[in-house]
Amino acid sequence: QAQLLESGGGSVQAGGSMRLSCSVSQFILNHDCMAWFRQPPGKEREGVASFASHDGSTTYADSVKGRFIISKDNAKNILYLQMNSLKPEDTARYYCAAHGRIGCSTERESDFSAWGQGTQVAVSP
C-alpha cells in the first residue's frame, strides 16, 4: 500500500488553475512535515512548498509564491496544492513527500523519507 498517493494532475492552458491532492497513509500520520516537489522535463527535482502539520506553517519556492497554496485537511488526511495562474514553466511531474524530523522546508530533499509516485502536470502556452 502506497504511503502517499497523488492525484489531480493533467493538462491546462496558461493562466488556468489546478488542484493536486495527496492522500496520506495511516502509517505515516506522525510525519509532521509534508511537501510538494516537482521535476520539470530534463531538469532536477525541486522543492515547491512545505506544510508543518503541528502549526500550519508553510514555505514556498520563490517561483510559486503568490500563485500556489499548500494546505492540509487533517480530518481526511489529504495534502493539497492549489495552483493558480499556471505558466508553461510549471510543467513538471509533481511529487508529494513527508518526513517526521524537526524543521519543515524543502531545502533538504534528503530529509524526506516518504514519497509518492508523482502526478504529471502540463501547462500549454
The pLDDT of residue 85 is: 98
According to DSSP, the β-strands at 119-124 and 10-13 are parallel
For 41-60, how does the pLDDT look when each residue is reduced to its tens digit (9 = 90+)? 999 999 999 999 999 999 99
Residue pair 3/99 in contact (Cβ under 8 Å)? The answer is no
Alpha-carbon distances, residue 42 vs 16, 29, 37, 89 (angstroms): 24, 33, 15, 12
* Backbone angle region of 51, left / alpha / beta, with phi > 0 → left and psi within -120 to 50 → alpha: beta
**What parts of the chain have a pLDDT lower than 70?**
1-2
Burial 84-102 (b: 16+ CB within 10 A, else e): eebeeebbbbbbbbbbeee
